[in-house]
């Protein structure tokens, strides 16, 4: 209700305050035995990836963009590898097991210079190997994953695929919107920026040059490429109705909001209304405003950055979380059905706790395996105006909120040392890279080292928290991750849903496996039922499924595999 405060109340000024950065450098609180611990294993894993411009100030809007990261299994060895996007070069780290990663950027052919920003992973040519799309400023690359002389080699097929590299691209998403079995590609764009556009803007008191906000620039809009097969894509942005986007986009999330079997798309826009594209099979309708997801609670536009779908209240409907700019609380939109959402941030405890940060990366994920999705935020400001405001620096703390009966409790200070070290957070990816059943994290720092975090469940928990990871693969001789599949697990009448997606967060690509925390299951060690609804609408139902393992389900197969 921030805007009504202006009407002659002293509360107005009190409502517009921000964090004191010195206070942000908190010491970790005493360990709470119920909170999972995150350990920063970047160095021990062998990851050395730094970004930054040597403290240059001010930054242009392009320089303050940062970059993303992604978990993907590029070599199909069952272990998630780590892609770190950046300027001038990306890096791919192969997961060698035992907590070690090796830089394979050069050997796989990803060592091309460019202003790289975001990434998406998906097998667009259905050959069973995960391909890559990397967004950038006036550049982009569609990399086909090939095997040459027994080794993986990414081949740049952007031009032959018919994808245009122009503009200021941010996030992207592989998703099969037309359900033809081929992954299509959505590419988000931000603003029109170039040498002829404003580079820096003055602070409100005119004293300091700083990064311009998005208001100064014209919006650039995203593109939707339909996969025609044969390695060719066709720009069908207008035909599909994606030209109704507002532009100035950061994050893209994919999920079936109305359970009609078709993947829908949410695009978080910076100080523009958010776009919720409802998929009608052969085109989309932008129902952002009508659905209640385009604006903040007060109807104001927000600096939308990251976005993610997940069912936070286990009611069988995908809810939406959007990270926002400073002094704009992150928005949790509860899906009320009938494609209507309610912004419930105050009711779930995300109002005051998130407004002090500039939120970027976000994941709705069950960190403590209790069966309810928790929230992770990677925060970092876009400008450093300490010359006029000593309380506003760029590095900020990451945040972890545990879902306790539908209310989000900030446990950041109890979740391990990484949560007490500020960073200029941008992209964030979640994935179980050590295959131990809980979700780990990768986070990029715009002015520092990317971080690889390992999640460890508390050992002193009084009850065991079970888990299940479902790898859903399409039918055919070279099955791929069935992006868009919906997995439902049931036990004792409790139903939980996840979708197989790599999109979500911002600039980043996620572990495609559907991850479920299951709580103690009342002492049982099996789930009553696991159902997978495939992207083509067909379903498979498995009964009495053992938990605490990775379950691989192949479409059309008579049996399933358990890899652990």
Binding range to another protein, per CB under 8 A, among 145-153, 317-325, 387-395, 484-492:
387-395
Among 97, 346, 476, 546, binds another protein (CB under 8 A): 346
Residue 290 or 542: which CB sits closer to another protein?
Answer: 290
Strand order in the sheet with 69-72: 69-72, 81-84, 91-97, 100-103
Q: Which of residues 273-292 bind another protein (CB under 8 A)?
A: 273, 289-290, 292
Give least dist CB 374 to another protein, A. 16
Among 26, 39, 340, 494, binds another protein (CB under 8 A): 340
Q: Are strands 549-554 and 466-473 parallel, antiparallel or unpaired?
A: parallel
DSSP secondary structure string for all residues of 87-112: SS--EEEEEEETTEEEE-HHHHT---
What is the rounded CA–CA span in Å between residue 375 and residue 353? 12
What is the rounded CA–CA span in Å between residue 392 and residue 394? 7
Counted residue by residue, the chain has a size of 564
Among 23, 43, 113, 282, binds another protein (CB under 8 A): 23
How many other C-beta atoms lie within 10 A of the C-beta of residue 88? 9
Residues 232 and 158: beta-carbon distance below 8 Å: no
Query: Does 194 interact with another protein (rule: CB under 8 A)?
Result: no
DSSP, res 308: E
Query: Does 420 interact with another protein (rule: CB under 8 A)?
Result: no
What is the rounded CA–CA span in Å between residue 475 and residue 502? 19
CA atoms within 13 A on the CB side of 377: 33
Binding range to another protein, per CB under 8 A, among 10-18, 138-146, 258-266, 529-537:
10-18
Q: Is 29 exposed, middle or buried (0-12, 13-18, 19+ CB in 10 A)?
A: middle
What is the rounded CA–CA span in Å between residue 312 and residue 407? 10
Residue 293 or 457: which CB sits closer to another protein?
Answer: 293
Q: Check whether the bond before 88 is cis (ω within 30° of 0).
A: yes
Query: Does 209 interact with another protein (rule: CB under 8 A)?
Result: no
Residue 346 or 476: which CB sits closer to another protein?
Answer: 346
Query: Does 1 interact with another protein (rule: CB under 8 A)?
Result: yes
Give least dist CB 356 to another protein, A. 8
Query: Does 342 interact with another protein (rule: CB under 8 A)?
Result: yes
Site size toward another protein, by CB under 8 A = 56
Q: Give alpha helix (H) positions in 343-484.
A: 345-348, 351-354
Measured torsion, CA atoms of residues 427, 173, 133, 436, in degrees rounded to the nearest 10: 60
Structure tokens at 343: 């912004």
Give least dist CB 64 to another protein, A. 16
Report which secondary-structure segment, H or E, holds 131.
strand 131-136
Binding range to another protein, per CB under 8 A, among 11-19, 138-146, 411-419, 541-549:
11-19
Query: Does 7 interact with another protein (rule: CB under 8 A)?
Result: yes
Query: Does 155 interact with another protein (rule: CB under 8 A)?
Result: no
SS3 417: helix
What is the rounded CA–CA span in Å between residue 83 and residue 431? 12
Among 43, 113, 352, 541, binds another protein (CB under 8 A): 352
Residues 504 and 254: beta-carbon distance below 8 Å: yes
Residue 356 or 426: which CB sits closer to another protein?
Answer: 356
Give least dist CB 201 to another protein, A. 6
Q: What angle do CA 402, 403, 405 make, to 5 degrees?
A: 145
Give least dist CB 243 to another protein, A. 17
Binding range to another protein, per CB under 8 A, among 144-152, 309-317, 343-351, 548-556:
343-351
Binding range to another protein, per CB under 8 A, among 28-36, 212-220, 369-377, 474-482:
212-220
Binding range to another protein, per CB under 8 A, among 201-209, 261-269, 423-431, 522-530:
201-209
Among 166, 299, 316, 537, binds another protein (CB under 8 A): 299
Residue 271 or 368: which CB sits closer to another protein?
Answer: 271
Strand order in the sheet with 169-175: 169-175, 184-189, 223-229, 232-235
Give least dist CB 380 to another protein, A. 17
Residues at the interface with another protein (CB under 8 A): 1, 3-18, 20, 23, 198, 201-202, 204-205, 212-213, 215-216, 271-273, 289-290, 292, 295, 297-301, 336, 340, 342, 344, 346-347, 349, 351-353, 356, 389-392, 407
């Amino acid at each position: 209700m921030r805007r009504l405060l202006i009407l002659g109340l002293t509360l107005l000024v009190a409502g517009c305050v921000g964090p004191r950065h010195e206070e942000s450098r908190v010491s970790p609180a005493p360990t709470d035995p119920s909170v999972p611990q995150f350990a920063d294993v970047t160095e021990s894993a062998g990851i050395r990836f730094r970004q930054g411009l040597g403290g240059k100030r001010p930054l242009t809007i392009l320089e303050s963009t940062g970059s993303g990261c992604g978990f993907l299994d590029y070599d199909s060895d069952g272990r998630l590898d780590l892609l770190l996007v950046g300027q001038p070069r990306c890096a791919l780290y192969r997961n060698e097991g035992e907590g070690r990663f090796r830089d394979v950027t050069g050997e796989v052919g990803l060592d091309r210079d460019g202003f790289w920003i975001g990434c998406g992973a998906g097998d667009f040519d259905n050959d069973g190997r995960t391909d890559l799309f990397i967004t950038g400023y006036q550049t982009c690359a569609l990399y086909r994953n090939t095997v040459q002389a027994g080794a993986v080699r990414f081949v740049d097929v952007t031009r032959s695929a018919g994808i245009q590299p122009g503009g200021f691209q941010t996030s992207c998403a592989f998703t099969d919107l037309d359900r033809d079995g081929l992954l299509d590609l959505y590419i988000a764009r931000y603003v029109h920026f170039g040498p002829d556009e404003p580079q820096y803007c003055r602070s409100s008191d005119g004293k300091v040059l700083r990064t311009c906000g998005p208001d100064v620039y014209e919006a650039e809009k995203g593109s939707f490429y339909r996969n025609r097969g044969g390695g060719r894509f066709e720009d069908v942005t207008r035909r599909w109705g994606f030209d109704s986007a507002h532009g100035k986009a950061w994050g893209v999330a994919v999920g079936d909001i109305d359970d009609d079997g078709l993947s829908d798309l949410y695009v978080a826009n910076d100080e523009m209304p958010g776009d919720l594209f409802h998929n009608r099979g052969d085109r989309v309708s932008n129902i952002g405003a009508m659905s209640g997801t385009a604006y903040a609670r007060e109807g104001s536009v927000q600096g939308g950055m990251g976005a993610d779908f997940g069912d936070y209240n286990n009611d069988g409907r995908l809810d939406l979380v959007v990270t926002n700019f400073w002094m704009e609380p992150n928005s949790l939109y509860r899906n009320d059905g009938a494609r209507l959402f309610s912004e419930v941030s105050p009711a779930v405890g995300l109002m005051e706790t998130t407004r002090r940060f500039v939120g970027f990366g976000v994941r709705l994920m069950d960190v403590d395996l209790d069966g309810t999705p928790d929230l992770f935020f990677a925060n970092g400001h876009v400008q450093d105006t300490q010359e006029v405001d000593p309380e506003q620096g760029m590095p900020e703390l990451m945040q972890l909120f545990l879902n306790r009966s539908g209310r989000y409790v900030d446990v950041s200070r109890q979740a391990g040392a990484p949560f007490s070290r500020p960073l200029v957070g941008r992209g964030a990816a979640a994935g179980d890279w050590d295959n131990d059943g809980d979700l780990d994290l990768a986070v990029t720092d715009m002015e520092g080292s990317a971080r690889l975090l390992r999640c460890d469940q508390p050992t002193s928990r009084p009850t065991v928290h079970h888990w299940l990871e479902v790898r859903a693969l399409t039918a055919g001789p070279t099955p791929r991750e069935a992006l868009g599949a919906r997995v439902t697990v049931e036990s004792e009448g409790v139903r939980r849903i996840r979708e197989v997606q790599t999109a979500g967060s911002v600039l980043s690509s996620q572990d495609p496996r559907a991850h479920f925390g299951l709580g103690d299951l009342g002492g049982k060690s099996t789930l009553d039922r696991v159902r997978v609804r495939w992207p083509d609408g067909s379903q498979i139902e498995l009964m009495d499924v053992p938990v605490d393992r990775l379950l691989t389900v192949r479409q059309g197969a008579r049996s399933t595999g358990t890899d652990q």
